[in-house]
Amino acid sequence: MGDLIPFPQQTPPAREPEPAPAPLWREAVGRELREERQHQERTLADVAGDAGVSTQYLSEVERGRKEPSSEVLEAVGGALGLGLLDLTARVARRLHEARRVTPRGPLALAA
C-alpha cells in the first residue's frame, strides 16, 4: 500500500478567561468588617456583644451571607470604631477597585 500521512491536529483558538464577577455589596461589607475586626485582633463574640447582635449573625454578615440593615451596620461598625460613613466609604473604594480589576460594563455595580 502506501505511506500513512497523519491528519493535521488543529489547536482550538485561545479563549480569553471570563472576568470574575464584581463582589456584591454584602460581600464587600462583610469583608471590610472582618478585616477591621481581625486588624484589631478581636473575636467575633467580642464585637457581636458590643454591637448587640448574635455571634452567628455577625459571622454570616462577615461571610456575605446576610444583607445587614443600616442599623446593624451602624452597630457593628460602631463596635469597631467605624462610623457608618467611614464604613460605606471603605466599601465603595473596595468595590471601585474590584471593578477596575474585573470590568463588567457600566452597570456592573448597579446590579
Structure confidence by residue, pLDDT tens digits, 44-88: 999 999 999 999 999 999 999 999 999 999 999 999 999 999 999
Residue spans of the domains in the chain: they are 25-101
Q: Band the pLDDT of 39: cuts 50, 70, 90.
A: very high
Q: How far is CA 59 from CA 45, 56, 86, 111, in A?
A: 9, 5, 21, 24
Which amino acid does the sequence have at 91? V
pTM of the model: 0.72
Q: What is the pLDDT of the chain when averaged over all its residues?
A: 86
Give me 6's grid cell.
497523519
Q: Which CATH superfamily is domain 25-101 in?
A: lambda repressor-like DNA-binding domains (1.10.260.40)
Q: Residue 96 burial (CB < 10 Å; 0-12/13-18/19+)?
A: exposed
Give me 1's grid cell.
500500500
- Top-confidence residue, 79 or 20: 79
Phi, psi of 54 (to 5 degrees): -75, 155
- Check pLDDT > 60 for residue 111: no
Q: Band the pLDDT of 1: cuts 50, 70, 90.
A: low
What's residue 109's pLDDT? 43
